[in-house]
């Protein structure tokens, strides 16, 4: 192999040892190249390997020879031939299958997946992207953003790739124009704004000429963002990996004799330590880890992607497909879930057809019970559809014949993905990413017409004025919003007592109480939080119609949800009370120990930690509970109600 351009080769024994230790400690970046046909993906990888001197001399000589026969660049050296290894690829000048290449620099080790650009090979691109941390999206500077560029970017986003290096290639063919580069950047940003949680970095390059691939380009002095290799060496990806949720899917049970039973598998996420208390799912049996053994021998801890054999303290019935987890950090265990599916087969998806679903080490019969919609790749709009054809992407509901263990793909890529297998041909026909919970509730539009037909609103025989006169009050909803631990529930209870003692008819709707009954089917992802608040708002409106003063105690973190609650309840009856307490104060209170669990990764999507709280912009009242006693907060609310004429004086 040619010498590295970065560091001279070691010559002494000490230098060799230091060199091996330093390179053994480097982290790994897996990335893929994607984009439309002829955008230069294979050429880019060939140039990257060539300029970083990561090619064996005999391999380079063979490529030089093949360039004269199969080259498509009108030069003596066609970099694309370094990765286009299939005969059909060289003959046609295209990439058909995923080609993997390895190289290393002083800062990182790299595994590259060169994926095909043709639409008919989209399935190959999805396969290559499934294990990658970063995607290099190639865009031909002459043609701009094409449909396949959008499709590959969307699939990369769906597959949890959060870092995109968008390389505007073939800049030499547009005279290295800054204007062309900036125009394509704006075009791509307009599309990618609809993708979730994406870090984009734009680089103008010429893969054939080597501009901004390994070294900065002298032809584009107007770009100061560094070369592609510099970005690949420095982009932070270690924080993207899940080391919190310990998941160990059991692949095989080893029983060499009567005295030993080991459970083999690969750590999917998190860290498994000797002596850990663990739970086996789906049975729920608890035990403790006795030993962890790898090919090299026993270890104290294991982390992804280590293959280990686990022995446990107790005799527990465990078989292939079961999962070992921490007792206080469990995945979903269910038969029903919703997912985004990339359909890979020429035969279309059959709704209610029978398939096999493979999730981690578990293979179970399953049915795709419904197709909610498919995506228009160009606009990312949702389109009604009865089926999915090859390379189309849609949202489906899946029901398995027995329970499986899974996480949302956005939280855990290893346990949130699955493949769909045709039961007759054993072919992989689809790849799926599981959404936030087993049965993701769709937000309900409170302004939409009800699904039920032949219904009408019935007027009450008692007027609003009659109820106000009887109760000596005007109905209202006091909407207390704030972080967990801010004091909402305590203030709500004290306010209820105070109003009741002065003869007012009132009632509390508390978040925990509601979730024990009316909203027990909802979780804590964004759509479920929205539906939770919508239902509470409808109940509060009904209680207001009965003449009651309603006190709600909900985090209700999103401004949009609270605005919809105001519309449902009525602007004249809705009083937003911001219980404004700093996060650090809430954490010191932590009455339920929730912040501690959230910091430890035992609770996902916890407001203030890994989920946002959007504070009210113009609340009717703001209570600074860090500096106020409960009685003072209550008195301030009562005084406001009196000023607004909602209470009898």
Q: Where are the beta strands (DSSP E) in 378-485?
A: 382-383, 393-406, 417-422, 428-434, 476-481
pLDDT band at 339 (very low <50, low <70, confident <90, very high): very high
CB of 552 closer than 8 Å to CB of 480: yes
Query: What per-residue confidence (pLDDT) applies to 242?
Result: 75
pLDDT of residue 262 exceeding 90: yes
Residue 373, helix vs strand vs coil: strand
Q: Which domains does the chain have, with CATH numbers?
A: 13-240 (3.40.50.300), 247-325 (2.40.30.10), 332-434 (2.40.30.10), 466-643 (3.40.50.300)
Please give the structure tokens belonging to residue 336: 């029903």
Instruction: Round to whole Å and give the CA distance between 34 and 26.
Output: 25
Q: Token pair of 393, please?
A: 């992407």
Q: Where are the beta strands (DSSP E) in 21-97?
A: 28-35
Answer with the residue of higher pLDDT: 335 or 605: 335
For the stretch 292-329, pLDDT in tens is: 999 889 999 998 889 999 999 998 889 999 999 998 88
For 281, the token pair is 């799912």
Confidence of residue 140 (pLDDT cuts 50, 70, 90): very high
Q: Is the pLDDT of residue 198 over 90?
A: no
Q: Flag whether pLDDT at 444 surpasses 60.
A: no
Please state the separation of Cα 230 from the chain's center in Å.
26
C-alpha to C-alpha distance for 245 and 268, rounded to whole angstroms: 9
CA distance 535 to 556: 12
Q: How confident is the model at residue 127 (pLDDT cuts 50, 70, 90)?
A: low
For residue 152, is pLDDT > 70? yes
* pLDDT band, very low/low/confident/very high, at 637 (cuts 50, 70, 90): very high
pLDDT digits (tens, 9 = 90+) for 368-384: 999 989 888 777 788 88
pLDDT tens digits, 409-421 = 888 888 988 999 9
As a whole-number percent, the residues of the chain with pLDDT over 70 amount to: 82
Using the predicted structure, report yes or no on whether residue 33 has a pLDDT greater than 80. yes
């Amino acid at each position: 192999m040619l010498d590295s351009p970065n560091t001279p080769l070691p010559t002494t024994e000490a230098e060799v040892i230091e060199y091996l230790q330093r390179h053994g400690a480097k982290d790994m970046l897996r990335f893929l190249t994607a984009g439309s046909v002829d955008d230069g993906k294979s050429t880019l990888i060939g140039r990257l390997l060539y300029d970083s001197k990561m090619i064996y001399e005999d391999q380079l000589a063979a490529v030089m020879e093949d360039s004269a026969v199969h080259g498509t660049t009108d030069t003596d050296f066609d970099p694309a031939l370094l990765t286009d290894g299939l005969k059909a690829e060289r003959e046609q000048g295209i990439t058909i299958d995923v080609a993997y290449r390895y190289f290393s620099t002083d800062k990182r080790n790299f595994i590259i997946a060169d994926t095909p650009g043709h639409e008919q090979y989209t399935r190959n691109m999805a396969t290559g992207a499934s294990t990658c941390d970063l995607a290099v999206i190639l865009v031909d500077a002459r043609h701009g953003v094409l449909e396949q560029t959008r499709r590959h970017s969307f699939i990369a986003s769906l597959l949890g790739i959060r870092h995109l290096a968008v390389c505007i290639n073939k800049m030499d063919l547009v005279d290295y124009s800054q204007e062309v580069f900036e125009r394509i950047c704006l075009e791509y940003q307009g599309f990618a704004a609809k993708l979730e949680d994406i870090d984009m970095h734009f680089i103008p390059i010429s893969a054939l000429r080597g501009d901004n691939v390994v070294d900065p380009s002298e032809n584009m002095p107007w770009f100061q963002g560094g070369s592609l290799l510099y970005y690949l060496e420095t982009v932070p990806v270690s924080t993207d990996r899940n080391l919190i949720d310990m998941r160990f899917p059991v692949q095989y049970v080893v029983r060499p004799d009567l005295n030993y039973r080991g459970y083999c598998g690969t750590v999917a996420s998190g860290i498994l330590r000797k002596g850990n208390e663990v739970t086996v799912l789906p049975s729920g049996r608890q035990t403790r880890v006795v030993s962890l053994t790898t090919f090299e021998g026993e270890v104290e801890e294991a982390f992804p992607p280590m293959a280990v054999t686990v022995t446990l303290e107790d005799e527990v019935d465990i078989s292939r497909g079961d999962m070992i987890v921490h007792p206080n950090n469990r995945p979903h265990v269910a038969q029903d879930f919703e997912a985004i599916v990339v359909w890979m087969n020429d035969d279309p998806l059959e709704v209610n057809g029978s398939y096999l679903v493979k999730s981690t080490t578990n293979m179970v019969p399953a049915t795709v019970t419904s197709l909610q919609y498919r995506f228009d790749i160009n606009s990312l709009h949702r389109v009604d559809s009865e089926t999915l054809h090859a390379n189309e992407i849609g949202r489906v509901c899946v029901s398995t014949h027995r329970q499986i263990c899974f996480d949302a793909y956005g939280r855990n890529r290893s346990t949130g993905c699955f493949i769909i297998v045709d039961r007759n041909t054993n072919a992989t026909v689809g790849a799926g990413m599981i959404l936030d919970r087993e049965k993701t509730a769709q937000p309900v539009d409170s302004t939409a017409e009800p699904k039920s037909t032949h219904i009408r609103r019935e007027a009450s025989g008692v007027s609003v004025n009659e109820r106000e006169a009887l109760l000596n009050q005007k109905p209202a909803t006091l909407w207390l919003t704030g972080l967990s631990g801010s004091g909402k529930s305590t203030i709500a209870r004290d306010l209820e007592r105070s109003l009741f003692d002065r003869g007012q008819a009132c009632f509390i709707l508390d978040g925990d109480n509601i979730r024990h009954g009316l909203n027990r089917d909802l979780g804590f992802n964004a759509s479920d939080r929205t539906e939770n608040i919508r239902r509470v708002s409808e109940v509060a409106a009904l209680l207001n119609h009965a003449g009651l003063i309603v006190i709600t105690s909900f985090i209700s973190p999103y401004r949009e949800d609270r605005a919809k609650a105001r519309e449902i309840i009525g602007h004249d009856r809705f009083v937003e009370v911001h219980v404004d307490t700093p996060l650090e104060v809430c954490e010191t209170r932590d009455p339920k120990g929730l912040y501690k669990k959230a910091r430890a990764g035992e609770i996902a999507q916890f407001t203030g930690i890994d989920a946002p709280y959007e504070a009210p912009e113009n609340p009717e009242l703001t209570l600074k509970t860090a500096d106020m006693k409960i009685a003072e907060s209550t008195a301030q609310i009562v005084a406001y109600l009196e000023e607004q004429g909602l209470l009898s004086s």
